[in-house]
Amino acid sequence: MSAKKIFLCDIKSGNKIKTSLMVMKIIAKDPAKVICILADRSGDIKANIPSRKSDITEGSVIEIEGIKDWNLDVKKYGFISDYDLSDYLPTVKRPIEEIMDEIESYTTKYITSIEGKSLNDYFFKDEIVLDKFKRGIGGVSMHHNYIGGLAEHTLNVMHLTSMLCERYDCRRTETAMLAAKLHDIGKIYELYYDGPFKYTLRGEMEGHIVIGVELIEKAIRENPTLYSEDFVTRIKGCIVQHHGKLEFGSPRSMKMEESFIVNYADSIDATMNKISQVKDKTEPGNWSEYDRRIETKLYL
């Protein structure tokens, strides 16, 4: 496996560059060149690549030589097939196993009923689902848009949900906490994260809320006599309602204490994650650029 040693953030403008980058987006092609966005986990850059073969495709990793300025002027390139994907895609800053350990601690504390444990284990003791969950992203561009972002977002929503449940004496804390853990489980199939982030065909057609409900229903069918009607209704209701309002993508607006709590926890974490990303790009005491997610620029 090729070990990537030089990242975009390490290279100053005007310097010659020899490194490997992933093709994230092709902007334009003509018979002599390709204009595209190249990236590694540290950032991205617009590049002009001389190419008469039409062999450059999105998701491919290429070793390039060129000069970095505002854009990247590529002189030579070749393809790499053996590489570590985490070198080229943005990744959560914390170790993923540390995040999963925290999720497990909340699970052990709050999810204690036979129903709750069974539904939790259906997903999180399945090695395929667990692998997808740990690699999953929170979104393509809106929030937690990096490998491990789904797990990080889930942990934060569980943390905020536990605080709200305890502060306001929620009648069904276990339901709220399990729903917080499963609220975005559909994203493991909605989003593609083994290359440039994008929606899968299923994601485009159904969306993570519908997919999530389908997954819950499949789990229930595995052991239908175990789950009470009230448990199923409330868990599915939280998944369906967690975006809060119809205009925000929920098939139904919030109708339960638990769904209000999960919605608020979800919204707070998504918003604050986006603000954190804006902060990373803005020096203190300056205005940020306008951000579409939070619908404003920030004075930081």
Both 185 and 223 in one domain: the answer is yes
**Number of domain units in the chain:** 2
Measured at the alpha carbon of residue 293, what is the angle toward residues 289 and 297, in degrees to the nearest 5? Answer: 30
Q: Which of 84, 111, 146 is the last residue of a domain?
A: 84
pLDDT in tens, 93-117: 999 999 999 999 999 999 999 999 9
Q: Write the CATH number for 136.
A: 1.10.3210
Both 155 and 231 in one domain: the answer is yes
Long-range contacts formed by 289-297: CB under 8 A, 24+ apart = 293/142, 293/143
Both 32 and 113 in one domain: the answer is no
Both 120 and 79 in one domain: the answer is no
Both 63 and 22 in one domain: the answer is yes
Whether 233 is in a domain gets the answer: yes
Residue 61 is part of which domain span?
Answer: 8-84
Both 118 and 72 in one domain: the answer is no
Both 106 and 80 in one domain: the answer is no
pLDDT in tens, 115-164: 999 999 999 999 999 999 999 999 988 899 999 999 999 999 999 999 99
pLDDT in tens, 170-229: 999 999 999 999 999 999 999 999 999 999 999 999 999 999 999 999 999 999 999 999
Both 40 and 105 in one domain: the answer is no
- Strand partners of residue 34: 29, 49
Residues 6 or more apart from 12 whose CB is under 8 A from it?
Answer: 68
